[in-house]
Structure 1
Amino acid sequence: MSLYQWNGDVLTEWKALQDKLDNGKREWETFMHTGKAMAGSSLAPEILSSWRRCKDRGLNPYDDNMIVLSQRQLDQRLKQNEALIETIRPILQETAGSILDSGYRIDLYDKDLYLIGRFGRKLKEGDSERREIVLGESHNEKDAGTNATNLAALLERPISLMAYEHYRTALHSLTCVSAPIMGADGKLMAVITVEGYIWPLHKHTMALLISLKESIEYRFANHRMEGAESFSHLLNANLIELIEHPIIIADQGGKIIMANRAAYDTVLEGWEHVIGFSCENIWGNRSPVYDVIKTKKPMLNQRLISGSTKYNASIRPLVGSDGKLRGVMIEAKEIRGKHTKQGGKDGLKAHYTFENISGESCEIKQVIRLAKETAGMDNNILITGESGTGKELFAQSIHNASLYADGPFVVVNCSAIPGTLLESELFGYEGGAFTGARKEGGVGKFELAVGGTIFLDEINSMSLDMQVKILRVIQNKSIMKVGGNEEIPVNVRIIAATNTDLWKMVREGQFREDLYYRINVISIMIPPLRDRTGDVEILVKDLLAKISSRLKQEIKIETAAVELLKAYTWPGNVRELENVLEQSWVIARTANKERITKEEVLSYRGLTESTKGVPQEGEAAVEMKSKQKNRTVGDAEKALILKTLHEKNWNIQATAKALGIARNTLYRKIKRYEIERNQ
């Protein structure tokens, strides 16, 4: 068998390969020099995220020395993994024999990503372009940088990397395809990697690796399963054909072993030979099937998506007379008609999509591309950026473009909740768990977010104790309520956000390194407004349209005012720009103007200070400076409210409507500005 991919025209394909390598080299060199992806980058988000983590760690990309276990450490590790190696060896040896002439080999890494087995051809003498990977070598990201073995373990799915997609130059001569081997408990057991010299891989190489992964996982499942024949009679194939709803039976490792015709016609449509495949292949690694396997407890009303069709599934454990889990039964029903979002019932929904993100700069387009690609994945995400850059806007957009879009979107501002209350807020509590607790207990944010996304804003503010609990939720995909003793499975995607340097906090001991890697599987870095070339004018237009819609008034702005806004550095980013526009309109209305002028914009202190020393022209400029000294935004707002109150004969409802604010907001402002009728 050949692993090379040639379609006939060797020269054309060689040129395409060379172009890909040249582009990859430019991508790599640009990032190493600037710490950023190059303009128009096509780099996958999971690779870019890994590069960023490596750079944050200070890993030297030019260091060819790899971390290798001592012989004593290697012997201990080989002994610990003896059963694993002996179970996998026959499969890998057989496969390695079939690809002997391809120049590729198969490597086996343990759960800590140390090489514990090699199968296939070794390097020939004089092959100076490649380096021999030795037993005991670490391919953990912190040691080896970005590589397929580590990413497969982190993402819990097969992945391929070629040449310059690797972080370290030591791996630039390699093409690698890796797949994780997962146990029945959903935890990583090992990683297998097909590795060879830079060359166009055959299109079936990934399929080969997935097949190996499935064979190995199935072999381990069979070794664990006792009384397999009795289980096969537990649910006779003829019996499930009598059930009109789709029925699927999986063993205790999550491998499908039986399905009725109704399932093949609906949920498994397009999967003609599904027997032996894992539920992960069909529904992803967050499938509730694995929660049932883990807890041995049924889960009802679970959402499964097959293609574009949504199903409501009941998943029940199948337990033998000896009390041991034999497998699970999945009964699915298609969700027909208009589907009411779970989030919509409780107001827990995301309102924004990528269409709501304004900007045409290369910087923001690059971030949007990465975010869109990330939305289709199943991994946790970390969004970073200065305050006011729009982190929640991106989080909502990602949610609405993901498979979790029909589920709730739950926001938790970690810095706004006292540390003593955060645990019960996130996980809920049992009745009587603490003084003041409700008798019936409380539901936490993670339970509210089941089937959807939980957005942990300002996660950097969490205490170390709380970080341990979040890490446990991510690892076990379950929570335990305060005062409770029962694990509750939660199928939730986590999007976290921070405006601080998390890796710096890791180095200073303020943030756990293991949690950092768990939430930072994919990172989205939103650029500050000052770095978004040409976007200010577009944002001004879109933000004024938004404010106009809310106030039900057409708001215009003169060109000179826009030019001033474009020249400012915006330390508060988009949020600051929106505040300036709104405040400027309040002042303009007070002066009975029909549009925002340069004068109103300069009433904002930040802009005033940024223009100090800039020559002004004419009497209008002198008058403008005089007004700036005597008027603050608060004075202008007070004057506008007072004027409107008199116009509406102090009718609070009519005044609030005219101002475009809520009645309660108007009452607060009247109290704040000490406004009275006789003024």
Structure 2
Amino acid sequence: MASLFDSQPFVQSVAEVIAAALRVETEIVDDEGRVLGATGRIRSQLLTKRTDTFINHFVMEKAMPFVLLNPGCHKLCEPCEEKNDCFYTSGLFYPIQVGKKCYGVISLVSFDMKQKKILIQNQNSFLDFIGKMAELLAIKLSESTMMEEICMNNEYLEAIINSVNEGIISCNGQGIITCFNRTAEKSFKAAKENVIGQPISSILPESILIKALQNQEPFHQEKVHYKDSLGETVNLISSATIVKNNGQIVGAVESFSEEEKLFRMVHSLSNSEIDSACDNIIGTSAAISNLKRLVTKVAQNVSTVLITGESGTGKELFARAIHSSSNRSKQPFVAINCGAIPESLLESELFGYEKGAFTGAKNEGKPGKFELANGGTLFLDEIGDMPLHLQVKLLRVLQERVIQKIGGTKNIPINVRVIAATHQDLRAMIGQRLFREDLFYRLNVIPLHLPPLRERVEDIPLILDFLCQKYADLMHKEIKGFSEKALRILTGYQWPGNVREMENAVEYAISFCSSTEMIKEEYLPQWLYAREIPAHNSNYKQKIEKSEKQVLLEAIQEYGDSVEGKMEIAENMGISLSTLYRLFRKYKLINTRPRKEKQ
């Protein structure tokens, strides 16, 4: 709340007006006894604090006018030390009141009998006049309080506007910028002092605020492309709202988020529920315990990690554990399977593309996985399936820490930790010229090898219990574990598909098991009873590769190795063209004899 002291010059001018109009000495004090207005003989006490303010306290307490005819003799004067030598001969007192609270007193005083006679004879008219002056001071006080509250509200509102992650720009009905928050300053590299008061059309000619005011309608979640103060494109998702007063448009407000930040937030939220700490890696075997210790140490630096191991051993789980144990845990963890995306799309998925980079590209362009993972971790699964021309580009990114979008010319600096994974033998692939040796050494700074389940049999019961609880909860069943015979079958199986295969087996068994029952051997899938699959036996692997190569040779004889022929082969085999090319490179079938003429 404002005080009279804040308006002291105005209070003094009121005192002088009263004295000039009534020809009587005037004093105005505040609720702390400070003299804020004084004329004549008492002007010397201006801005001093009175101690003999017993009458003033009474007037403020009772909130009513008071007439003092015999100073020093009145009972209110008894506490005053100067009551016997009081130089006042009379006084009229009027409270300055706002609502139920008094903030001061106006007093008219006399120093001789002539002045006293004037006061007494005109006391009613004088009280009316100083009552009006008290109302004037009360209005001034209310205005000051209101302005103080408005300033506080403005500061509070500005703090709120600057605290939000969205950019906020507002303008009045004439298109003059009235608000430009901190996020907007960062997005457009412009200080609000240089922007507020300027036409929106001169600062951001592409702004949807202009369109909203012209069309007199709001816009929601529009994809827009603005230029910042340096002329660089800023891709935004923006909304504009019309502001009306009594049906008349008085302005508009635009709120926006940078498209890349939205992508990162959505990706982060979509992965936020995945538990990935080391404690969630199940196993107490020596191999797993050692890996957990390594993960904790590896998490503390930024070196690239290469995780190897058979399919289904939990490579992504370990990658997430490294990320969540590091100081990047609050930043995005972005995963991409290099073998699941066609070659023609993989580059754009990794590095993004600019507007109009190729046929079918989005008009606003798109950020790649590297940009989405900026500040965090990028997990490149099945790195062995990455085409050679992209391996070159990835090597450059790892070395220079910059990326360049498809169709772009600008180098974009990135701060990303890369964790790669593969089930393939990359050293063998280097010998076959299917994987770059320099990239391998760049990735293999910290190697982590995950053992298959058959090499850590002691962990199988723990994993089975975890999976049993997981799928029992999903299916709303109260499974009591595994029978002794079922557990013996499950622990004796070799699990060529590792944890992924085990998960399928447990889900299958619980699907057929009644609630509150124990999983018995008859509920297990039949393939668990089959002879062990020697997936790790190199003789069988060689036989499979030999037959696969023979099938490809026969297909080439039939369809030829032209582009059209390869497309027919891929379609006939039910695989993608990029997968066919990888098989050709694997078996060195690129230069084969041309298509055989059909009879």
Tell me which interval the TM-score lies in, with the shorter structure as reference length.
0.3 to 0.5
Task: Identify which of structures 1 and 2 has the higher relative contact order when contacts are C-alpha pairs closer than 8 Å and 6+ apart.
Answer: 1
Greater gyration radius: 2
Q: TM-score, normalised by structure 2?
A: 0.43
